[in-house]
């Protein structure tokens, strides 16, 4: 049996993206790294940038524009695959047969 707050949360999330896709995961990892880096290096931008990235993650998570968020993730995955292929080719060129 669900409680009242669970039903309200389910109702709120209905029709929202609410998915921790690879783009959101990457943004969260970058945010965590920047937060940790901010502890050791006190720069104004390093304090603001992780918060901005966190806002972007929340915006994507709670967005009702599911198709747009899916396209963003698809573009990110294409970009990520291009970079992976580039480094795989470089790795093969340096390996000794």
Integer Cα distance of 75 and 94 in angstroms: 29
As to burial, measured by CB atoms within 10 angstroms (0-12 exposed, 13-18 middle, 19+ buried), residue 94 is exposed
Would you say residue 94 has pLDDT above 80?
no
Residue 97 reports pLDDT greater than 70: no
Q: Is the pTM of this model over 0.75?
A: yes
Q: What is the pLDDT of residues 17-73, one digit of tens each?
A: 888 899 999 999 999 999 999 889 888 778 899 999 999 999 999 999 999 999 999
- Residue 61, C-beta contacts closer than 8 angstroms, at least 6 positions apart: 16, 17, 18, 19, 20, 24
CA atoms within 13 A on the CB side of 15: 3
Identify the band that residue 96 occupies on the pLDDT scale cut at 50, 70 and 90: low
């Amino acid at each position: 049996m669900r409680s009242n707050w669970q039903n309200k949360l389910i109702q709120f999330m209905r029709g929202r993206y609410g998915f921790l896709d690879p783009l959101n995961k990457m943004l969260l990892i970058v945010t965590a790294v920047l937060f940790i880096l901010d502890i050791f290096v006190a720069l104004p931008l390093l304090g603001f940038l992780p918060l901005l990235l966190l806002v972007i993650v929340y915006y994507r998570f709670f967005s009702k524009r599911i198709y747009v968020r899916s396209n963003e993730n698809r573009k990110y995955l294409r970009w990520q695959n291009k970079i992976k292929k580039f480094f795989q080719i470089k790795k093969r060129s340096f390996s000794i047969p």
